[in-house]
Amino acid sequence: MIARANAASVTPMLKKWILPNVLVAVAYAAASELALHLLRYAAETAVVWFASGVGISAMLLLGTRALPGVALGALLCAIFSQKPLGLMLLSTVLTTGQIWLTWWLLVRVTDFNPALARVRDMVKLVFIGASVSPVLNGVRAFVQYALADDHLPMPAHALVKAALLGEMAGILLLVPAVLGWANSRGQRLRPGERAEALLLYATGVAAALGVFASMLQPMLLVASLPYAMFPVLFWAAARFGPRETATMYFIIGVIAVAGTGFGRGPFGEAHITFGGTYGNLAELYLFLLVLGATSLMFSAGRQQLVASQSALRESEEKYRLLVDHQTDLVAKIGIDGRIQYVSPSHREFYGKPEAEFIGRTLSEAVRPHDEDLCCVQDAWKEVLSPPYQTSHEHRVLTPRGWRWVAVLARAVLGADGRPQFVVAVARDVTDRRRAEEQARQHLQQLAHVSRVSSMGEMASAIAHEINQPLTAIANYASACLRLLRSGKAQPGEALETMQRVASEAERAGQIVRKMRGFVRGEEGQMALIEPAFLASEVMRLASAEARQSGVELKSEVAPGLPPVLADSIQIQQVLLNLVRNAVEAVVGGEGPLREVSLGVRRAAEGGVHFTVRDTGPGLAPEALDKVFEPFYTTKPDGIGIGLPLSRSIADAHGGRLWASAEASGAAFHLVLPSAQELEHADA
């Protein structure tokens, strides 16, 4: 068991730690040996130093996990150099530390992205990745040489310069290529591209061999020949990306170093320039650095541009997809009123191609309903002045007949703050309008039903109300007749009696008139109405029913109330409804006090406050709002439409209607704004 568990835990350990580190160490040591063999005539320290590049690449790819491998590689390297043990260990520790520091500065401090897709990452790689370790090494070497009193073959500064640049070149040659390939796993070139890449590499190799291995010698050997590498690398950068550029750069670099190492090419031994061998090497490295930095940054810049362009294209495609496939009608209109763009939805909605809209004015392109023309014109004026937006609904002629569209338009302002063009979004709202119209008709029908049913209930009360004067008239008339027939009549008495008959008949007529106006429920006119008049009318209409129910109806009207702007019939309807509800509540209750009062006073917030109080059972707190919901009723035969309707009437008057629970019974409140208030509100 234990053995198996160990075996199971060893395999991931092997995969995760041991194998990568061994590989890193081997690569590190191999890179250093390769460098020494490539530059056979250079001193040990002046070779192109790929080993640091291996270490930094490993750290960037694997993180601190690669640190033991780097240390091991450095140790192997030190062992090969056959230094004393102390120096060997010191060198190992310092080298490992430098590589770790480079990694730490790049990844932990500057947020370096190894994808190398941005110019800024390339810059970091050049100025941190390829610089920290070489500079520290240079300092180290300088101190070392300064302390040692040995006779050196060349001035120390030349050697140090060559070593420093060599290490920089080694890093810059290797790291981008490794990162490029490591980060683009699975990214394959298309066949055409692959052919071009092969051609590129072939051209690059040929050019590099020609220049640095002196294959073209002697006819073309001139000092500026290495610049021939630029077109090759820019080709790679422009047609491919950082990966191919870095690869091409690495190949050219290796060839250049090897060629130079065998004494060939412009930097070869045969062409010792000022500064001797080390001077030549330093020049080679410097050339490679400039070549690499330039072409790699160019490739990253191009990559960045391509990426942002493709992001732009994607987002444009996304928006185009949205606009092209939505059912809303999107249009762009110039401030001259001419259409610049219409979404494809126009074609289906208006039944004509998009081309027929472009360059025309709105009224040329679509036909609004004659009744809506002024609203369309107003909207256009509105959208061109602050706040530069408008919304309205109008009818347009379409192949399906007149359709309602809801238009939302907004002007897009330029830098000078003036409108540049207008974007309008329209939507077919015909179905919604139709539903609204239906709902409105239903409500009107309900209002009528409610009024009629209300009248039905009131009919008996009205009959009674009219019966009273009729009975009195009949009595007076009969009495008068009898007196006159009997000859006992006093002239004054008969006259007075007939006077009473006339006044009672007048009263009956008034009742009939009031009732008729109320039942018809004609579209009333808004007029200035005295609150006292409303109260007295309602008292008059409700008194019969209250009396029949044995409920005392009182009213109290404060003096000096301002007139309200109201539809007299509608407000009477609301108040009468409240009073009748109150009377029913009192009848339904068992309270000793059977009273309904209508109070009218000035509202605290201005306006006029009507209060209908009853001494009925009152309302539960949760019912206070519910009673205004349609079809909610507490009455066994109620239809629950009176109060919601009343509230909508109150709303239409700019007023409020609400209920409250009182110490005994309930109270309903109607507040109407006074006529003056409305005037002020308008002003």
Least distance in angstroms from the C-beta of 451 to another protein: 22
Least distance in angstroms from the C-beta of 603 to another protein: 31
Toward another protein, which CB reaches closer, 482 or 520?
482
CA separation (Å) from 24 to 27, 63, 76?
5, 12, 12
Least distance in angstroms from the C-beta of 615 to another protein: 14
Indicate whether 449 belongs to the interface with another protein (CB under 8 A): no
Task: Tell me what percent of the chain is helix, strand and coil, each rounded to the nearest 5.
Answer: 65, 15, 25
Indicate whether 473 belongs to the interface with another protein (CB under 8 A): yes
User: Scanning residues 527 to 586, which ones bind another protein (CB under 8 A)?
Assistant: 547-548, 550-552
Q: Please, which residues have CB within 8 angstroms of residue 485's CB and are 6 or more apart in sequence?
A: none
Q: Which one of residues 483, 526, 623, 661 is an interface residue with another protein (CB under 8 A)?
A: 483
Instruction: Mark residue 148 as left, alpha or beta (left: phi above 0; alpha: psi -120 to 50; beta: remaining).
Output: beta
Least distance in angstroms from the C-beta of 478 to another protein: 3
Least distance in angstroms from the C-beta of 590 to another protein: 17
Residue 655 carries which side chain, given as an amino acid letter? Answer: G
Least distance in angstroms from the C-beta of 587 to another protein: 13
Indicate whether 479 belongs to the interface with another protein (CB under 8 A): yes
Toward another protein, which CB reaches closer, 377 or 460?
460
Q: Which one of residues 475, 633, 648, 676 is an interface residue with another protein (CB under 8 A)?
A: 475
Q: Are 372 and 361 contacting, i.e. CB atoms less than 8 angstroms apart?
A: no
Indicate whether 468 belongs to the interface with another protein (CB under 8 A): yes
Q: Distance between terminal CA atoms of the chain?
A: 94
Indicate whether 499 belongs to the interface with another protein (CB under 8 A): no
Indicate whether 597 belongs to the interface with another protein (CB under 8 A): no
Alpha carbons within 13 A on the beta-carbon side of 237 = 26
Closest C-alpha to 131, from 168, 78, 93: 168
Toward another protein, which CB reaches closer, 121 or 595?
595
Q: Which one of residues 160, 288, 424, 480 is an interface residue with another protein (CB under 8 A)?
A: 480
Q: Which stretch binds another protein (CB under 8 A): 180-188, 446-454, 458-466, 532-540?
A: 458-466
Least distance in angstroms from the C-beta of 600 to another protein: 23
Least distance in angstroms from the C-beta of 528 to another protein: 33
Indicate whether 419 belongs to the interface with another protein (CB under 8 A): no
Phi/psi at 410 (nearest 5 deg)?
Answer: -150, 135
Q: Please, which residues have CB within 8 angstroms of residue 267's CB and are 6 or more apart in sequence?
A: 212, 256, 260, 280, 281, 283, 284, 287
Structure tokens at 51: 């080993």
Indicate whether 494 belongs to the interface with another protein (CB under 8 A): no
Toward another protein, which CB reaches closer, 513 or 554?
554
Indicate whether 509 belongs to the interface with another protein (CB under 8 A): no
Q: What is the DSSP string of 194-250?
A: HHHHHHHHHHHHHHHHHHHS-TTTTTT--TTGGGGHHHHHHHHHHHS-HHHHHHHHH
Q: Which stretch binds another protein (CB under 8 A): 123-131, 306-314, 357-365, 469-477?
A: 469-477
Indicate whether 472 belongs to the interface with another protein (CB under 8 A): yes
Indicate whether 455 belongs to the interface with another protein (CB under 8 A): no
Least distance in angstroms from the C-beta of 648 to another protein: 33
Q: Which one of residues 385, 460, 499, 510 is an interface residue with another protein (CB under 8 A)?
A: 460
CA separation (Å) from 45 to 33, 42, 134, 187?
12, 8, 11, 38
The three-state secondary structure class of 523 is coil
Q: Please, which residues have CB within 8 angstroms of residue 199's CB and are 6 or more apart in sequence?
A: none
Q: Distance between CA 161 and CA 178 in Å, rounded?
A: 26
Q: Which one of residues 471, 533, 635, 652 is an interface residue with another protein (CB under 8 A)?
A: 471
Binding site for another protein (CB under 8 A): 460, 463-464, 467-476, 478-480, 482-483, 486, 497, 500, 504, 547-548, 550-552
